[in-house]
């Protein structure tokens, strides 16, 4: 395992939550960053909105079979990244709504796990964007602010033992205008290793290192390090 060069100053918070649409979305979008956080001993929770039950081109594989396989793959990938817990919401792949129920399910997880930082898709990015990514990103944004902090938003959570919670920062992956760049030069290996757990999606992963290293270098082109992942950060509390 490579040593990480991350610092307390770079990552001052202890608890992180990633909310994404499909298994492998975390790894592709921010796997190097999560690998680095895991090596620093940060607490990381993954909220997986769908189980990717349509994630195959094989018409002979039933949706319930592929989703079961992909949940196992995601659990293994999360283990490789030192993710503390994976929560599967099991919404149907390709049919994720941007509605009150999804928002409430995400609010519940925020109140339960109390993350300082929430990472999700940039639902505001224009043009080409998977509808599941867009809806998950927008629902997570609404869940973080204002719903998770407001007592009369989903008050039934109090009966479940979950109080209000204020998230410190919201990080969007794949933004059009990023303002945070994380050096993943020393954690690209962790990103690749986690992605290789997603066999249904990447096969043997033979070309992953070349492709993702190239992408990492493109993102880091104006940065003082070789490879990066980029985010748009919204400050909510200090």
In the structure, what pLDDT confidence band is assigned to residue 9 with cuts at 50, 70 and 90?
low
Give, to the nearest 10 degrees, the angle between helix 188-195 and helix 63-80: 150
Both ends of the chain: CA-CA distance in Å?
33
- The yes-or-no verdict on residue 3 having pLDDT over 80 is no
Structure tokens at 235: 């400050």
Total H helices, total E strands in the chain: 8, 7
Residue with token string 């993710």: 83
CB count within 10 Å of CB 202 equals 18
Instruction: Please give the helix or strand (H or E) that residue 233 lies within, else none.
Output: strand 228-235
Cα gap 160→173, rounded to integer Å:
31
- Local confidence band at 60 (pLDDT 50, 70, 90 cut-offs): confident
Q: What is the mean pLDDT of residues 23-52?
A: 97
Identify the pLDDT of residue 233. Answer: 97
DSSP one-letter code for 3: P
- At 55, the pLDDT band (50, 70, 90 cuts) reads confident
Domain residue spans in the chain?
15-235
> Which stretch of 30-34, 60-64, 215-219 has the lowest confidence by average pLDDT?
60-64
Domain 15-235 belongs in CATH node 3.40.50.10320: yes
pLDDT at 58: 84
- Split at pLDDT 50, 70, 90, the class of 238 is low
Whether omega before 58 lies within 30 degrees of 0, making that bond cis, reads no
């Amino acid at each position: 395992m490579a040593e990480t060069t991350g610092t307390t100053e770079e990552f001052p918070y202890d608890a992180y939550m990633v909310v994404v649409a499909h298994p492998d979305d975390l790894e592709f979008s921010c796997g190097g960053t999560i690998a680095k956080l895991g090596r620093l001993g940060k607490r990381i929770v993954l909220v997986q909105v769908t189980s990717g039950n349509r994630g195959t081109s094989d018409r002979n594989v039933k949706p319930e079979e592929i989703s079961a396989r992909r949940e196992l793959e995601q659990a293994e990938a999360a283990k490789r990244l030192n993710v503390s817990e994976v929560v599967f919401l099991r919404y149907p792949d390709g049919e994720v709504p941007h509605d009150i129920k999804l928002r409430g399910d995400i609010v519940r997880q925020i109140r339960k796990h109390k993350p300082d930082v929430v990472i999700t898709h940039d639902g505001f990015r224009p043009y080409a964007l998977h509808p599941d990514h867009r809806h998950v990103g927008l629902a997570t944004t609404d869940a973080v602010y204002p719903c998770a902090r407001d007592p009369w938003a989903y008050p039934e959570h109090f009966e479940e033992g979950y109080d209000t919670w204020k998230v410190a920062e919201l990080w969007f992956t794949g933004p059009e205008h990023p303002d945070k760049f994380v050096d993943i030069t020393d954690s690209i290996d962790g990103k690749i290793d986690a992605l290789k757990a997603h066999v249904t999606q990447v096969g043997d992963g033979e070309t992953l290192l070349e492709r993702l290293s190239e992408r990492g270098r493109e993102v880091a082109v104006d940065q003082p390090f070789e490879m990066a992942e980029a985010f748009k950060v919204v400050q909510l509390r200090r």
